[in-house]
């Protein structure tokens, strides 16, 4: 889930107030946690959509950065009232809502999608979901944990909280 959408022009910079222990990025952006520890410098390095991943003690937040392009529009509003199965999960994945209720099959569909993203990334990490958040098993170190969290974030509906 996107925490903040930022529009930048090529070469432009933005400083955002954040709470983060570490930062990562993908796409046409550069991101650096400033020495203050509560600001991140974001620089647009090319056209397209980029992401800045902010790792805090118990949560991952994502800033989507649109550099000289418009972000893709969300899909249609889900016809399902709850995330009750795999089909409803896919609807909510294309258009997350501020409040979502999960049923068991919907939560299992989310877990399968997250595990597939880990497998596709070649990570030997297992994901588990609970009402308290995401639990990763098998990560060798903090760097691999952060890489796994970046890999699974598109599959997670709602805030990506860590269950340690």
Residue 164: its pLDDT value, please? 66
Q: Does 104 have pLDDT greater than 90?
A: yes
More confident residue, 65 or 164: 65
Going along the chain from its start, the domains and CATH numbers come out as: 4-67 (2.60.40.1080), 86-161 (no CATH)
Q: Does 138 have pLDDT greater than 70?
A: yes
Q: Which of 81, 109, 108 is nearest to 97 (CA)?
A: 81
User: What is the mean pLDDT of the segment spanning 95-117?
Assistant: 94
The tens digit of pLDDT for each residue in 52-62 reads 999 998 999 99
For the chain, the distance separating the N- and C-terminal CA atoms, rounded to the nearest angstrom, is 20
More confident residue, 40 or 57: 40
Global confidence as pTM? 0.90
Chain mean position to CA 4: 11
Residue-wise DSSP of 71-108: PPPP-PPPS-SSB-SHHHHHHHHHS--SS--B-HHHHH
């Amino acid at each position: 889930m996107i925490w903040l959408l930022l529009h930048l022009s090529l070469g432009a910079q933005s400083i955002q107030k954040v709470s983060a222990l570490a930062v990562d990025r993908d796409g046409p952006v550069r991101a650096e946690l400033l020495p203050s520890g509560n600001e991140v410098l974001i620089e647009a390095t090319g056209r397209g959509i980029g992401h800045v991943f902010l790792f805090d003690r118990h949560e991952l937040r994502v800033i989507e950065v649109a550099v000289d392009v418009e972000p893709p529009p969300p899909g249609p509003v889900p016809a399902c009232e709850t995330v009750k199965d795999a089909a409803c999960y896919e609807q909510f994945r294309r258009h997350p809502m501020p409040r979502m209720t999960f049923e068991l099959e919907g939560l299992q569909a989310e877990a399968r999608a997250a595990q597939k993203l880990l497998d596709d990334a070649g990570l030997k990490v297992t994901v588990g979901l609970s009402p308290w958040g995401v639990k990763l098993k098998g990560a060798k170190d903090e760097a691999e944990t952060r890489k796994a969290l970046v890999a699974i974030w598109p599959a997670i509906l709602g805030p990506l909280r860590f269950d340690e």
